[in-house]
Structure 1
Protein backbone atom coordinates (compact mmCIF):
# COMPACT_ATOMS: atom_id res chain seq x y z
CA UNK A 1 0.00 0.00 0.00
CA UNK A 2 1.52 3.27 -1.14
CA UNK A 3 1.22 6.14 1.31
CA UNK A 4 0.53 9.54 -0.10
CA UNK A 5 2.10 12.68 1.33
CA UNK A 6 -0.43 15.18 2.54
CA UNK A 7 -0.41 18.39 0.57
CA UNK A 8 -2.83 20.24 2.79
CA UNK A 9 -1.64 23.64 3.97
CA UNK A 10 -1.90 24.54 7.67
CA UNK A 11 -4.88 26.67 8.53
CA UNK A 12 -4.10 30.36 8.39
CA UNK A 13 -0.89 29.91 6.40
CA UNK A 14 -0.55 32.69 3.82
CA UNK A 15 -0.56 31.77 0.15
CA UNK A 16 1.54 33.44 -2.51
CA UNK A 17 -1.57 34.96 -4.05
CA UNK A 18 -2.79 36.19 -0.66
CA UNK A 19 0.58 37.78 0.11
CA UNK A 20 0.61 39.47 -3.30
CA UNK A 21 -2.91 40.82 -2.75
CA UNK A 22 -1.97 42.14 0.70
CA UNK A 23 1.11 43.84 -0.73
CA UNK A 24 -0.91 45.42 -3.53
CA UNK A 25 -3.55 46.71 -1.11
CA UNK A 26 -0.95 48.13 1.25
CA UNK A 27 0.84 49.77 -1.66
CA UNK A 28 -2.39 51.35 -2.89
CA UNK A 29 -3.20 52.58 0.62
CA UNK A 30 0.30 54.03 0.95
CA UNK A 31 -0.03 55.92 -2.34
CA UNK A 32 -3.47 57.21 -1.30
CA UNK A 33 -2.09 58.34 2.07
CA UNK A 34 0.74 60.23 0.40
CA UNK A 35 -1.69 61.80 -2.07
CA UNK A 36 -3.98 63.10 0.68
CA UNK A 37 -1.25 64.07 3.17
CA UNK A 38 0.95 65.92 0.69
CA UNK A 39 -1.22 69.08 0.56
CA UNK A 40 -1.42 69.12 4.37
CA UNK A 41 2.36 68.84 4.67
CA UNK A 42 2.81 71.59 2.10
CA UNK A 43 0.46 74.03 3.84
CA UNK A 44 2.06 73.38 7.25
CA UNK A 45 5.54 73.98 5.85
CA UNK A 46 4.40 77.02 3.84
CA UNK A 47 2.83 78.55 6.96
CA UNK A 48 6.34 79.04 8.37
CA UNK A 49 7.63 81.07 5.40
CA UNK A 50 7.70 84.70 4.39
CA UNK A 51 6.04 85.72 1.10
CA UNK A 52 9.44 85.75 -0.60
CA UNK A 53 10.43 82.31 0.68
CA UNK A 54 6.99 81.00 -0.21
CA UNK A 55 7.78 81.31 -3.91
CA UNK A 56 11.56 81.16 -3.79
CA UNK A 57 12.20 77.93 -1.85
CA UNK A 58 11.29 74.26 -2.19
CA UNK A 59 7.65 73.82 -1.23
CA UNK A 60 8.05 70.72 0.92
CA UNK A 61 10.91 71.96 3.07
CA UNK A 62 11.45 74.81 5.51
CA UNK A 63 13.29 78.00 4.63
CA UNK A 64 16.51 79.09 6.28
CA UNK A 65 14.65 81.68 8.38
CA UNK A 66 11.32 80.21 9.47
CA UNK A 67 8.81 82.69 10.86
CA UNK A 68 5.91 80.58 12.02
CA UNK A 69 5.27 82.65 15.16
CA UNK A 70 5.38 85.94 13.25
CA UNK A 71 2.87 84.61 10.74
CA UNK A 72 0.53 83.46 13.51
CA UNK A 73 0.70 86.83 15.27
CA UNK A 74 -0.01 88.64 12.00
CA UNK A 75 -2.84 86.20 11.23
CA UNK A 76 -4.72 86.84 14.48
CA UNK A 77 -4.12 90.61 14.54
CA UNK A 78 -4.82 91.51 10.91
CA UNK A 79 -7.92 93.68 10.39
CA UNK A 80 -8.62 93.88 14.10
CA UNK A 81 -8.64 90.12 14.66
CA UNK A 82 -10.97 89.27 11.77
CA UNK A 83 -9.59 85.73 11.51
CA UNK A 84 -10.68 84.95 15.08
CA UNK A 85 -14.23 86.04 14.24
CA UNK A 86 -14.19 83.91 11.10
CA UNK A 87 -13.00 80.85 13.02
CA UNK A 88 -15.69 81.34 15.67
CA UNK A 89 -18.30 81.78 12.94
CA UNK A 90 -17.17 78.53 11.32
CA UNK A 91 -17.36 76.75 14.67
CA UNK A 92 -20.88 78.13 15.15
CA UNK A 93 -22.08 77.18 11.67
CA UNK A 94 -20.44 73.75 11.72
CA UNK A 95 -21.08 72.81 15.35
CA UNK A 96 -24.72 73.89 15.60
CA UNK A 97 -25.57 72.82 12.06
CA UNK A 98 -23.95 69.41 12.43
CA UNK A 99 -25.53 68.77 15.83
CA UNK A 100 -29.06 69.64 14.69
CA UNK A 101 -28.57 67.67 11.47
CA UNK A 102 -27.42 64.69 13.54
CA UNK A 103 -30.53 64.82 15.75
CA UNK A 104 -32.94 65.26 12.82
CA UNK A 105 -31.23 62.55 10.78
CA UNK A 106 -31.27 60.12 13.71
CA UNK A 107 -34.96 60.71 14.39
CA UNK A 108 -35.94 60.42 10.71
CA UNK A 109 -33.78 57.35 10.11
CA UNK A 110 -35.07 55.61 13.22
CA UNK A 111 -38.70 56.40 12.34
CA UNK A 112 -38.35 55.10 8.79
CA UNK A 113 -36.60 51.95 10.04
CA UNK A 114 -38.95 51.06 12.91
CA UNK A 115 -42.39 52.45 12.04
CA UNK A 116 -44.14 50.88 9.04
CA UNK A 117 -46.44 53.30 7.21
CA UNK A 118 -47.79 53.76 3.73
CA UNK A 119 -45.31 55.34 1.33
CA UNK A 120 -42.32 54.71 3.61
CA UNK A 121 -40.04 53.44 0.86
CA UNK A 122 -41.06 56.21 -1.53
CA UNK A 123 -40.36 58.82 1.14
CA UNK A 124 -36.97 57.27 1.82
CA UNK A 125 -36.18 57.25 -1.90
CA UNK A 126 -37.05 60.94 -2.19
CA UNK A 127 -34.82 61.78 0.79
CA UNK A 128 -32.01 59.66 -0.62
CA UNK A 129 -32.37 61.45 -3.93
CA UNK A 130 -31.37 64.63 -2.14
CA UNK A 131 -27.85 63.24 -1.91
CA UNK A 132 -27.61 63.41 -5.70
CA UNK A 133 -28.68 67.05 -5.98
CA UNK A 134 -25.61 69.34 -6.39
CA UNK A 135 -25.35 72.27 -4.00
CA UNK A 136 -25.03 74.67 -6.94
CA UNK A 137 -28.53 73.72 -8.14
CA UNK A 138 -30.30 74.66 -4.89
CA UNK A 139 -28.16 77.68 -3.93
CA UNK A 140 -30.21 80.22 -5.88
CA UNK A 141 -33.65 78.84 -4.85
CA UNK A 142 -32.47 78.84 -1.23
CA UNK A 143 -31.40 82.47 -1.57
CA UNK A 144 -34.78 83.56 -2.94
CA UNK A 145 -36.61 81.54 -0.29
CA UNK A 146 -34.63 82.96 2.63
CA UNK A 147 -34.64 86.44 1.14
CA UNK A 148 -38.44 86.34 1.11
CA UNK A 149 -38.50 85.95 4.89
CA UNK A 150 -35.65 88.41 5.42
CA UNK A 151 -32.97 85.99 6.61
CA UNK A 152 -30.28 86.57 3.97
CA UNK A 153 -27.20 88.23 5.39
CA UNK A 154 -27.79 86.69 8.83
CA UNK A 155 -26.38 83.64 10.58
CA UNK A 156 -29.65 81.79 9.96
CA UNK A 157 -29.08 81.94 6.20
CA UNK A 158 -26.19 79.49 6.60
CA UNK A 159 -27.44 77.60 9.66
CA UNK A 160 -30.88 76.56 8.40
CA UNK A 161 -29.74 74.84 5.16
CA UNK A 162 -26.90 73.18 7.10
CA UNK A 163 -29.34 71.46 9.47
CA UNK A 164 -30.51 69.03 6.78
CA UNK A 165 -28.48 65.96 5.78
CA UNK A 166 -30.07 63.43 3.39
CA UNK A 167 -27.01 61.22 3.70
CA UNK A 168 -27.38 61.35 7.49
CA UNK A 169 -30.97 60.07 7.22
CA UNK A 170 -29.77 57.22 5.00
CA UNK A 171 -26.98 56.26 7.37
CA UNK A 172 -29.25 56.51 10.43
CA UNK A 173 -31.85 54.25 8.87
CA UNK A 174 -29.30 51.62 7.88
CA UNK A 175 -27.72 51.68 11.33
CA UNK A 176 -31.06 51.66 13.17
CA UNK A 177 -32.16 48.61 11.19
CA UNK A 178 -28.93 46.77 11.96
CA UNK A 179 -28.19 47.79 15.55
CA UNK A 180 -31.58 48.34 17.20
CA UNK A 181 -33.38 44.96 17.45
CA UNK A 182 -37.16 44.98 17.18
CA UNK A 183 -37.28 42.73 20.25
CA UNK A 184 -35.65 45.45 22.37
CA UNK A 185 -38.16 48.04 21.17
CA UNK A 186 -41.11 45.75 21.86
CA UNK A 187 -39.79 44.86 25.31
CA UNK A 188 -39.46 48.55 26.17
CA UNK A 189 -43.02 49.17 25.03
CA UNK A 190 -44.28 46.32 27.19
CA UNK A 191 -42.53 47.96 30.14
CA UNK A 192 -44.52 51.12 29.50
CA UNK A 193 -41.90 53.25 27.76
CA UNK A 194 -43.12 55.69 25.13
CA UNK A 195 -41.62 55.97 21.65
CA UNK A 196 -39.74 59.17 22.47
CA UNK A 197 -38.21 57.62 25.57
CA UNK A 198 -37.27 54.47 23.64
CA UNK A 199 -35.56 56.57 20.99
CA UNK A 200 -33.76 58.88 23.41
CA UNK A 201 -32.75 56.34 26.08
CA UNK A 202 -32.24 53.11 24.14
CA UNK A 203 -32.03 53.55 20.37
CA UNK A 204 -29.84 56.65 20.45
CA UNK A 205 -27.25 54.86 22.62
CA UNK A 206 -27.20 51.87 20.28
CA UNK A 207 -26.81 54.25 17.32
CA UNK A 208 -23.98 56.29 18.88
CA UNK A 209 -21.31 55.31 16.31
CA UNK A 210 -23.62 56.31 13.45
CA UNK A 211 -24.56 59.58 15.18
CA UNK A 212 -20.93 60.53 15.64
CA UNK A 213 -20.23 59.67 12.00
CA UNK A 214 -23.14 61.84 10.84
CA UNK A 215 -21.92 64.69 13.03
CA UNK A 216 -18.38 64.39 11.73
CA UNK A 217 -19.38 64.25 8.06
CA UNK A 218 -21.76 67.18 8.38
CA UNK A 219 -19.28 69.24 10.41
CA UNK A 220 -16.57 68.87 7.78
CA UNK A 221 -19.05 69.55 4.97
CA UNK A 222 -20.25 72.79 6.58
CA UNK A 223 -16.73 73.86 7.55
CA UNK A 224 -15.48 73.50 3.96
CA UNK A 225 -18.61 75.00 2.39
CA UNK A 226 -17.85 78.06 0.30
CA UNK A 227 -20.77 78.51 -2.10
CA UNK A 228 -23.59 78.84 0.46
CA UNK A 229 -21.92 81.59 2.57
CA UNK A 230 -20.85 83.35 -0.64
CA UNK A 231 -24.46 83.52 -1.82
CA UNK A 232 -26.09 84.27 1.54
CA UNK A 233 -23.72 86.61 3.41
CA UNK A 234 -22.64 90.18 2.70
CA UNK A 235 -21.17 91.30 6.04
CA UNK A 236 -17.56 90.30 6.71
CA UNK A 237 -18.32 89.94 10.43
CA UNK A 238 -20.53 86.94 9.63
CA UNK A 239 -18.11 85.28 7.20
CA UNK A 240 -16.84 81.74 7.91
CA UNK A 241 -13.14 81.05 7.56
CA UNK A 242 -13.44 79.79 3.96
CA UNK A 243 -15.02 83.03 2.76
CA UNK A 244 -12.73 85.18 4.89
CA UNK A 245 -9.56 83.62 3.52
CA UNK A 246 -10.91 84.07 -0.01
CA UNK A 247 -11.43 87.75 0.79
CA UNK A 248 -7.80 88.05 1.86
CA UNK A 249 -6.63 86.08 -1.13
CA UNK A 250 -8.13 88.75 -3.36
CA UNK A 251 -5.84 91.33 -1.77
CA UNK A 252 -2.56 89.52 -2.50
CA UNK A 253 -1.91 91.63 -5.61
CA UNK A 254 -2.08 94.76 -3.49
CA UNK A 255 0.01 93.43 -0.59
CA UNK A 256 2.05 90.18 -0.91
CA UNK A 257 1.91 89.81 2.88
CA UNK A 258 -1.59 88.38 2.44
CA UNK A 259 -0.07 85.28 0.83
CA UNK A 260 1.43 84.31 4.18
CA UNK A 261 -1.80 85.17 5.99
CA UNK A 262 -3.92 83.00 3.68
CA UNK A 263 -1.52 80.06 3.94
CA UNK A 264 -1.24 80.35 7.74
CA UNK A 265 -5.02 80.61 8.04
CA UNK A 266 -5.45 77.52 5.87
CA UNK A 267 -3.00 75.64 8.08
CA UNK A 268 -4.86 76.59 11.27
CA UNK A 269 -8.19 75.61 9.71
CA UNK A 270 -6.81 72.25 8.58
CA UNK A 271 -5.29 71.51 11.99
CA UNK A 272 -8.63 72.15 13.70
CA UNK A 273 -10.29 69.59 11.43
CA UNK A 274 -7.47 67.11 12.05
CA UNK A 275 -7.94 67.55 15.81
CA UNK A 276 -11.68 66.90 15.45
CA UNK A 277 -11.08 63.80 13.32
CA UNK A 278 -8.53 62.49 15.80
CA UNK A 279 -10.86 63.01 18.74
CA UNK A 280 -13.80 61.22 17.09
CA UNK A 281 -11.99 58.54 15.10
CA UNK A 282 -12.65 55.79 17.65
CA UNK A 283 -16.41 56.20 17.15
CA UNK A 284 -15.99 56.45 13.40
CA UNK A 285 -13.83 53.34 13.24
CA UNK A 286 -16.32 51.43 15.40
CA UNK A 287 -19.14 52.36 13.04
CA UNK A 288 -17.26 51.27 9.92
CA UNK A 289 -16.31 47.96 11.58
CA UNK A 290 -19.90 47.33 12.62
CA UNK A 291 -21.11 48.02 9.11
CA UNK A 292 -18.58 45.58 7.67
CA UNK A 293 -19.50 42.72 10.01
CA UNK A 294 -23.28 42.96 10.01
CA UNK A 295 -25.17 41.35 7.21
Structure 2
Protein backbone atom coordinates (compact mmCIF):
# COMPACT_ATOMS: atom_id res chain seq x y z
CA UNK A 1 0.00 0.00 0.00
CA UNK A 2 1.42 3.38 -0.94
CA UNK A 3 1.92 6.24 1.47
CA UNK A 4 -0.81 8.19 -0.33
CA UNK A 5 -3.40 5.67 0.86
CA UNK A 6 -2.60 6.43 4.50
CA UNK A 7 -3.26 10.15 4.22
CA UNK A 8 -6.65 11.37 5.45
CA UNK A 9 -9.01 12.49 2.76
CA UNK A 10 -9.26 16.25 2.44
CA UNK A 11 -12.52 18.10 2.04
CA UNK A 12 -13.17 20.68 -0.66
CA UNK A 13 -14.27 23.86 1.16
CA UNK A 14 -16.38 25.06 -1.76
CA UNK A 15 -18.36 21.85 -2.34
CA UNK A 16 -18.11 20.19 1.08
CA UNK A 17 -17.10 16.83 -0.50
CA UNK A 18 -13.96 14.68 -0.49
CA UNK A 19 -12.10 14.29 -3.80
CA UNK A 20 -11.76 10.53 -3.33
CA UNK A 21 -15.37 9.61 -2.66
CA UNK A 22 -17.33 12.65 -3.79
CA UNK A 23 -19.52 12.33 -0.71
CA UNK A 24 -20.47 15.49 1.13
CA UNK A 25 -19.22 15.87 4.65
CA UNK A 26 -20.99 18.16 7.13
CA UNK A 27 -18.43 20.52 8.60
CA UNK A 28 -18.56 20.62 12.40
CA UNK A 29 -19.63 23.89 13.98
CA UNK A 30 -17.13 25.82 15.97
CA UNK A 31 -19.16 25.47 19.16
CA UNK A 32 -19.30 21.67 18.88
CA UNK A 33 -23.07 21.54 18.39
CA UNK A 34 -24.92 19.92 15.52
CA UNK A 35 -25.54 22.19 12.54
CA UNK A 36 -29.23 22.76 13.21
CA UNK A 37 -31.15 25.67 14.65
CA UNK A 38 -32.91 23.52 17.21
CA UNK A 39 -29.66 22.36 18.81
CA UNK A 40 -29.67 23.06 22.52
CA UNK A 41 -33.37 23.99 22.61
CA UNK A 42 -35.22 21.95 25.21
CA UNK A 43 -38.81 20.85 24.53
CA UNK A 44 -39.84 22.12 27.96
CA UNK A 45 -38.55 25.61 27.09
CA UNK A 46 -40.63 25.66 23.90
CA UNK A 47 -43.73 24.55 25.79
CA UNK A 48 -43.27 27.17 28.53
CA UNK A 49 -42.68 30.01 26.05
CA UNK A 50 -45.69 28.97 23.95
CA UNK A 51 -47.88 28.77 27.04
CA UNK A 52 -46.81 32.23 28.21
CA UNK A 53 -47.49 33.73 24.77
CA UNK A 54 -50.91 32.07 24.72
CA UNK A 55 -51.74 33.56 28.14
CA UNK A 56 -50.67 37.02 27.00
CA UNK A 57 -52.72 36.69 23.80
CA UNK A 58 -55.79 35.67 25.79
CA UNK A 59 -55.28 38.59 28.18
CA UNK A 60 -55.41 41.08 25.30
CA UNK A 61 -58.03 39.38 23.12
CA UNK A 62 -60.67 38.56 25.76
CA UNK A 63 -61.69 42.23 26.33
CA UNK A 64 -62.04 42.75 22.58
CA UNK A 65 -64.13 39.61 22.30
CA UNK A 66 -66.32 40.78 25.20
CA UNK A 67 -66.93 44.14 23.51
CA UNK A 68 -67.84 42.50 20.19
CA UNK A 69 -70.26 40.07 21.85
CA UNK A 70 -72.01 42.59 24.07
CA UNK A 71 -72.24 45.25 21.36
CA UNK A 72 -74.65 42.88 19.59
CA UNK A 73 -77.11 42.55 22.49
CA UNK A 74 -80.23 44.35 23.60
CA UNK A 75 -80.52 45.85 27.07
CA UNK A 76 -82.34 42.77 28.37
CA UNK A 77 -79.78 40.36 26.91
CA UNK A 78 -76.91 42.46 28.18
CA UNK A 79 -77.88 41.77 31.78
CA UNK A 80 -79.83 38.53 31.37
CA UNK A 81 -77.36 36.40 29.40
CA UNK A 82 -73.77 35.24 29.72
CA UNK A 83 -71.39 38.11 29.09
CA UNK A 84 -69.13 35.94 26.95
CA UNK A 85 -71.77 34.62 24.58
CA UNK A 86 -74.31 36.13 22.22
CA UNK A 87 -77.86 36.88 23.26
CA UNK A 88 -81.10 35.67 21.75
CA UNK A 89 -81.37 38.64 19.37
CA UNK A 90 -78.35 39.66 17.31
CA UNK A 91 -78.72 43.40 16.76
CA UNK A 92 -75.19 44.66 16.21
CA UNK A 93 -76.10 46.78 13.21
CA UNK A 94 -79.05 48.36 15.02
CA UNK A 95 -76.87 49.20 18.00
CA UNK A 96 -74.19 50.76 15.80
CA UNK A 97 -76.81 52.84 13.98
CA UNK A 98 -78.09 54.04 17.35
CA UNK A 99 -74.55 55.01 18.36
CA UNK A 100 -74.04 57.08 15.21
CA UNK A 101 -77.40 58.86 15.52
CA UNK A 102 -77.57 59.42 19.31
CA UNK A 103 -77.61 62.99 20.63
CA UNK A 104 -77.99 64.44 17.17
CA UNK A 105 -75.11 62.41 15.73
CA UNK A 106 -72.50 63.56 18.24
CA UNK A 107 -70.43 60.36 18.09
CA UNK A 108 -69.05 60.99 14.55
CA UNK A 109 -68.05 64.45 15.79
CA UNK A 110 -66.16 62.85 18.68
CA UNK A 111 -64.47 60.49 16.23
CA UNK A 112 -63.34 63.38 14.03
CA UNK A 113 -62.05 65.20 17.11
CA UNK A 114 -60.03 62.14 18.13
CA UNK A 115 -58.62 61.84 14.62
CA UNK A 116 -57.70 65.54 14.69
CA UNK A 117 -55.97 65.32 18.06
CA UNK A 118 -54.24 62.02 17.31
CA UNK A 119 -53.38 62.70 13.67
CA UNK A 120 -51.89 66.18 14.00
CA UNK A 121 -50.42 65.52 17.44
CA UNK A 122 -48.70 62.26 16.46
CA UNK A 123 -47.25 63.59 13.18
CA UNK A 124 -45.87 66.82 14.64
CA UNK A 125 -44.67 65.15 17.85
CA UNK A 126 -42.90 62.46 15.82
CA UNK A 127 -41.07 65.04 13.70
CA UNK A 128 -39.98 67.03 16.75
CA UNK A 129 -38.90 63.87 18.60
CA UNK A 130 -36.91 62.50 15.69
CA UNK A 131 -35.22 65.84 15.00
CA UNK A 132 -34.29 66.38 18.65
CA UNK A 133 -33.20 62.77 19.11
CA UNK A 134 -31.00 62.99 16.02
CA UNK A 135 -29.40 66.18 17.34
CA UNK A 136 -28.70 64.62 20.73
CA UNK A 137 -27.18 61.53 19.13
CA UNK A 138 -25.03 63.18 16.46
CA UNK A 139 -23.96 66.56 17.84
CA UNK A 140 -21.77 67.40 20.81
CA UNK A 141 -22.65 70.66 22.55
CA UNK A 142 -22.57 72.26 25.99
CA UNK A 143 -25.43 71.08 28.18
CA UNK A 144 -26.12 67.96 26.12
CA UNK A 145 -26.10 65.69 29.16
CA UNK A 146 -28.40 68.08 31.02
CA UNK A 147 -30.89 68.03 28.14
CA UNK A 148 -30.69 64.25 28.02
CA UNK A 149 -31.37 64.06 31.75
CA UNK A 150 -34.41 66.32 31.38
CA UNK A 151 -35.72 64.07 28.62
CA UNK A 152 -35.36 61.02 30.85
CA UNK A 153 -37.17 62.91 33.59
CA UNK A 154 -39.99 63.67 31.18
CA UNK A 155 -40.30 59.98 30.36
CA UNK A 156 -40.74 59.15 34.05
CA UNK A 157 -43.40 61.81 34.76
CA UNK A 158 -46.95 60.54 34.05
CA UNK A 159 -49.27 62.70 32.01
CA UNK A 160 -51.85 62.87 34.77
CA UNK A 161 -49.32 64.65 37.03
CA UNK A 162 -48.98 67.61 34.65
CA UNK A 163 -52.63 67.89 33.56
CA UNK A 164 -53.64 70.25 36.36
CA UNK A 165 -50.60 72.56 36.08
CA UNK A 166 -51.21 72.75 32.34
CA UNK A 167 -54.83 73.70 33.01
CA UNK A 168 -53.78 76.64 35.20
CA UNK A 169 -51.23 77.73 32.60
CA UNK A 170 -53.64 77.51 29.66
CA UNK A 171 -56.39 79.16 31.69
CA UNK A 172 -54.15 82.16 32.32
CA UNK A 173 -53.64 82.64 28.58
CA UNK A 174 -57.26 81.88 27.69
CA UNK A 175 -57.03 78.74 25.54
CA UNK A 176 -58.86 76.25 27.76
CA UNK A 177 -61.95 74.63 26.23
CA UNK A 178 -60.40 74.90 22.75
CA UNK A 179 -58.73 72.46 20.40
CA UNK A 180 -55.36 73.99 21.26
CA UNK A 181 -55.68 72.94 24.90
CA UNK A 182 -55.45 69.28 23.85
CA UNK A 183 -53.26 69.68 20.78
CA UNK A 184 -50.35 71.64 22.28
CA UNK A 185 -49.47 69.08 25.02
CA UNK A 186 -49.76 66.31 22.41
CA UNK A 187 -46.95 67.82 20.34
CA UNK A 188 -44.30 66.71 22.85
CA UNK A 189 -43.18 63.11 23.27
CA UNK A 190 -40.28 62.57 25.70
CA UNK A 191 -40.40 58.82 25.13
CA UNK A 192 -40.28 59.36 21.36
CA UNK A 193 -37.28 61.66 21.72
CA UNK A 194 -35.49 59.11 23.90
CA UNK A 195 -36.22 56.30 21.44
CA UNK A 196 -35.16 58.41 18.45
CA UNK A 197 -31.84 59.36 20.06
CA UNK A 198 -30.97 55.71 20.71
CA UNK A 199 -31.98 54.63 17.22
CA UNK A 200 -30.19 57.51 15.48
CA UNK A 201 -26.99 56.78 17.36
CA UNK A 202 -27.01 53.21 16.01
CA UNK A 203 -28.61 53.56 12.57
CA UNK A 204 -27.03 56.75 11.20
CA UNK A 205 -23.28 56.28 10.56
CA UNK A 206 -21.00 59.24 11.23
CA UNK A 207 -19.07 58.42 8.05
CA UNK A 208 -22.20 59.06 5.95
CA UNK A 209 -22.68 62.47 7.56
CA UNK A 210 -19.02 63.40 7.02
CA UNK A 211 -19.26 62.36 3.38
CA UNK A 212 -22.35 64.52 2.99
CA UNK A 213 -20.59 67.52 4.52
CA UNK A 214 -17.67 67.06 2.12
CA UNK A 215 -20.17 67.11 -0.75
CA UNK A 216 -21.54 70.43 0.48
CA UNK A 217 -24.81 69.19 1.95
CA UNK A 218 -26.24 71.48 4.64
CA UNK A 219 -27.02 70.22 8.13
CA UNK A 220 -30.76 70.32 7.42
CA UNK A 221 -30.09 68.45 4.19
CA UNK A 222 -28.14 65.82 6.11
CA UNK A 223 -31.13 65.31 8.39
CA UNK A 224 -33.91 65.36 5.80
CA UNK A 225 -32.20 63.73 2.81
CA UNK A 226 -29.73 61.30 4.36
CA UNK A 227 -30.79 60.55 7.92
CA UNK A 228 -34.58 60.35 7.76
CA UNK A 229 -34.59 57.37 5.34
CA UNK A 230 -32.35 55.52 7.81
CA UNK A 231 -34.74 56.36 10.65
CA UNK A 232 -37.94 55.15 8.97
CA UNK A 233 -38.58 52.21 11.37
CA UNK A 234 -38.10 54.48 14.40
CA UNK A 235 -40.36 57.14 12.86
CA UNK A 236 -43.18 54.65 12.32
CA UNK A 237 -42.74 53.25 15.83
CA UNK A 238 -42.91 56.68 17.50
CA UNK A 239 -45.86 57.67 15.31
CA UNK A 240 -47.78 54.56 16.31
CA UNK A 241 -47.08 54.92 20.03
CA UNK A 242 -47.96 58.61 20.04
CA UNK A 243 -51.16 58.10 18.03
CA UNK A 244 -52.38 55.38 20.39
CA UNK A 245 -51.43 57.44 23.47
CA UNK A 246 -53.35 60.52 22.26
CA UNK A 247 -56.32 58.46 21.07
CA UNK A 248 -56.67 56.81 24.49
CA UNK A 249 -55.94 59.99 26.46
CA UNK A 250 -58.68 60.74 28.96
CA UNK A 251 -57.31 62.88 31.77
CA UNK A 252 -56.12 65.84 29.68
CA UNK A 253 -59.40 66.35 27.75
CA UNK A 254 -61.35 65.89 30.99
CA UNK A 255 -59.44 68.76 32.60
CA UNK A 256 -59.27 71.06 29.58
CA UNK A 257 -62.65 70.71 27.82
CA UNK A 258 -66.17 71.68 28.84
CA UNK A 259 -67.87 71.83 25.44
CA UNK A 260 -69.28 68.44 24.39
CA UNK A 261 -68.57 69.22 20.74
CA UNK A 262 -64.82 69.28 21.47
CA UNK A 263 -64.75 65.92 23.26
CA UNK A 264 -62.66 63.03 21.93
CA UNK A 265 -64.19 59.55 21.89
CA UNK A 266 -62.79 58.60 25.31
CA UNK A 267 -64.42 61.52 27.09
CA UNK A 268 -67.64 61.19 25.11
CA UNK A 269 -68.05 57.52 26.00
CA UNK A 270 -67.47 58.30 29.65
CA UNK A 271 -70.16 60.97 29.41
CA UNK A 272 -72.59 58.36 28.07
CA UNK A 273 -71.59 55.86 30.73
CA UNK A 274 -72.39 58.41 33.44
CA UNK A 275 -76.01 58.51 32.21
CA UNK A 276 -76.64 54.76 32.44
CA UNK A 277 -78.12 55.03 35.97
CA UNK A 278 -81.18 56.91 34.76
CA UNK A 279 -81.16 55.83 31.09
CA UNK A 280 -80.25 52.11 30.72
CA UNK A 281 -80.22 52.33 26.91
CA UNK A 282 -76.90 54.17 27.20
CA UNK A 283 -75.30 50.81 28.05
CA UNK A 284 -75.73 49.79 24.41
CA UNK A 285 -74.47 53.15 23.21
CA UNK A 286 -71.37 52.93 25.38
CA UNK A 287 -70.57 49.35 24.38
CA UNK A 288 -71.20 49.98 20.68
CA UNK A 289 -69.14 53.17 20.82
CA UNK A 290 -66.28 51.29 22.46
CA UNK A 291 -66.34 48.77 19.61
CA UNK A 292 -66.22 51.53 16.98
CA UNK A 293 -63.39 53.28 18.81
CA UNK A 294 -61.20 50.18 18.59
CA UNK A 295 -61.47 49.84 14.81
CA UNK A 296 -59.13 52.74 13.79
CA UNK A 297 -56.43 51.54 16.18
CA UNK A 298 -56.71 47.97 14.93
CA UNK A 299 -56.40 49.10 11.31
CA UNK A 300 -53.40 51.31 12.11
CA UNK A 301 -51.55 48.55 13.97
CA UNK A 302 -52.24 45.98 11.24
CA UNK A 303 -50.94 48.34 8.56
CA UNK A 304 -47.84 49.47 10.46
CA UNK A 305 -46.93 46.29 12.34
CA UNK A 306 -44.11 45.38 9.94
CA UNK A 307 -42.41 48.72 10.49
CA UNK A 308 -43.29 48.61 14.18
CA UNK A 309 -41.46 45.34 14.78
CA UNK A 310 -38.46 46.58 12.84
CA UNK A 311 -38.38 49.86 14.74
CA UNK A 312 -38.25 48.06 18.08
CA UNK A 313 -35.31 45.82 17.18
CA UNK A 314 -33.18 47.30 14.42
CA UNK A 315 -32.04 50.33 16.37
CA UNK A 316 -30.79 48.17 19.22
CA UNK A 317 -28.20 46.38 17.06
CA UNK A 318 -25.17 48.27 15.94
CA UNK A 319 -23.39 46.91 12.91
Normalising by structure 2, what TM-score?
0.87
Q: Which residue in the other structure is 1:127 paired with? A: 151
**Is 1:27 paired with 2:51?**
yes
8 Å Cα contact 2:33/2:39 also seen in 1: no
Residue 272 of structure 1 and its aligned partner are, at CA, apart by 1.5
Q: Which residue in the other structure is 2:18 paired with? A: none
Normalising by structure 1, what TM-score?
0.94
Q: Which residue in the other structure is 2:248 paired with? A: 224
Residue 220 of structure 1 and its aligned partner are, at CA, apart by 0.5
Unaligned runs of 5+ in 1: 1-7
Residue 253 of structure 1 and its aligned partner are, at CA, apart by 1.4
Deviation digits for residues 56-89 of structure 1 (CA, Å, limit 9, x no counterpart): 1111211121101100110000011100000000
Unaligned runs of 5+ in 2: 1-31
- Equivalent of residue 115 in structure 1, options 139, 144, 147: 139
CA distance in 2, matches of 1:277, 1:14: 31
Q: Structure 1 residue runs of 4+, over 3 Å off?
A: 13-17, 291-295
8 Å Cα contact 2:117/2:183 also seen in 1: yes
Decide whether aligned partners of structure 1 residues 215 and 82 sit closer, same or farther in structure 2, where only a CA change above 3 A counts.
same
**Is 1:48 paired with 2:72?**
yes
CA distance in 2, matches of 1:117, 1:176: 17
Q: Which residue in the other structure is 1:183 paired with? A: 207
**Is 1:76 paired with 2:76?**
no
- Report the 3-state secondary structure (helix = DSSP H, G, I; strand = E; otherwise coil) of the residue aligned with 1:153: coil
Q: Larger relative contact order (C-alpha < 8 A, sep ≥ 6)?
A: 1
Matches within 5 A, 1:1-295: 10-12=34-36, 14=38, 18-291=42-315, 293-294=317-318
Moved more, 49-58 or 211-220: 49-58
Aligned-pair RMSD on alpha carbons?
1.5
Find the structure with the greater CA-based Rg. Answer: 2
More helix by share: 1
- Report the 3-state secondary structure (helix = DSSP H, G, I; strand = E; otherwise coil) of the residue aligned with 2:42: helix
Residue 20 of structure 1 and its aligned partner are, at CA, apart by 1.7
CA distance in 2, matches of 1:289, 1:227: 31
**Aligned length in residues:** 289
